[in-house]
Amino acid sequence: MGCSMNLTSTHQGDIDRRIFVKELIAACPEALIVTGLGSPSYDVFAAGDRDENFYLWGAMGGASALALGLALAQPQKSVLVITGDGEQLMGLGSLASIGAQKIKNLTIVVLDNGHYGETGMQLSHTSLGTDIVGVAKACSLDWSFPVREMSGVSDIAQHVNARNGSGLANVFIKAEEYPKALPARDGVYIKNRFRSALGFKPF
């Protein structure tokens, strides 16, 4: 007896990712930024490289977990994750750990186009019914909401700058490809530059 799968996308997004990311970073000038692999790293770099950016090139699913450790180690700093839906879907377990830690200085921004942009624009699970905001709420993050308009930048920035809890914003972006803006790919360089920005010696 056979079975069929409904792979029709339910995803809708109208936000220009490059403009949104640029405005968000400008509104959070003191934040430490961790990027998910692929397009979110390109978006953050295109907005203007800075020593406080930590680009993850190939650790798919690791952005939020790394940021959790950073937020715990730097409680006086705001930590901002900018990642994609595919990357965050691979690291859903990190949301449970973040909720359990009850930290106040971590914000996750998921740029959600409903596709796996780095592997051929296949539909991701957010196009097929997975609600990342609902998952974040179930994991006891302090706040979580969808963003469908550019005005959401100010709502997110308010949480980032206030350090008033851990939360997640799911930003519904257009499913479009943008010119690649490539940051440095040398992991040791990125690590040491980031450590220096925090006042630590490289190693």
Query: Whole-model pTM?
Result: 0.91
- What pLDDT does residue 176 have? 82
Asked if the structure places residue 12 within a domain, the reply is no
Average pLDDT of adjacent 10-residue blocks, the chain of 203 residues: 49 88 98 94 96 90 96 98 92 96 97 71 70 96 97 97 97 88 93 95 78
What CATH number is given to the structural domain containing 51?
3.40.50.970
Total domains present in the chain:
1
- What pLDDT does residue 203 have? 75
HSE-CB at 117 with a 13 A cutoff on CA atoms is 24
Pick the closest to residue 59 from 167, 187, 194, 178 (CA basis): 187
- What pLDDT does residue 27 have? 98
- Domain of 26? 17-197
